[in-house]
Structure 1
Amino acid sequence: MSVDEILGQPAPVGATVYRRGDVVCVGMPLPDLRQWEVHVAAAPHARGREAVAAMRSMLTEFWDSHPDVDELIAVPRAENRAVRVTNNLIGFALSEKVKVLWPDGIERETCIYRMPRP
């Protein structure tokens, strides 16, 4: 599977992509370059404990290769329970829930997860 197929959409242009089999971690710098937005995903056949271990490994690699970054942020829809659980399992902590206007023009309740540099 391609990275885009695993994510379910095209990876943003210029994103940093880590991959372990059919598990991916995609990061993009935010305007404050000490913060990056991160998305992790696993193909349906690759989900489970091994996927969580791969995600943790990729995040460790990210921290090692980006010493200037202080915080990672993940912003899933509040209704996406599977992503929210995964974020907790890989080390993110829920910071807040806010209403956000998504690119499709719909305002949705969105969770802000944060992970400070370990």
Structure 2
Amino acid sequence: VSSVAGRVARKGAGVYNASKWAVNAFSESLRQEVTGRGVRIGLVEPGAVATELTDHITQPEAKAASQKMAATITPLQSGDIARAVVYLVSQPRHVAVNEMLVRPTDQER
């Protein structure tokens, strides 16, 4: 599991963005390494999810931006992400869902 932050950088969230870009790159590299061995690598990249993450943001600008976004959208719930994972792993063996970007309908970025 990665994040939309692995695709879209945000001011004040550089370290978080970098860690998620790394997860994306690692997943793609691993996918290439195991191709032909019957192993599927899938990455779920959630957008805004209702979690306690904003409680742990220490950079004031990033925290304010996260709180503003949370006040203007209906965030995903953990069950939404769980259903995405179930979809990813329940495909036929010959189908690999390599990336799944899942965002709230009203999330801009």
Q: TM-score w.r.t. structure 2 length?
A: 0.29
Greater helix percent: which structure? 2
TM-score (norm 1): 0.27
Structure with the bigger RCO (C-alpha within 8 Å, sep 6+) is 2
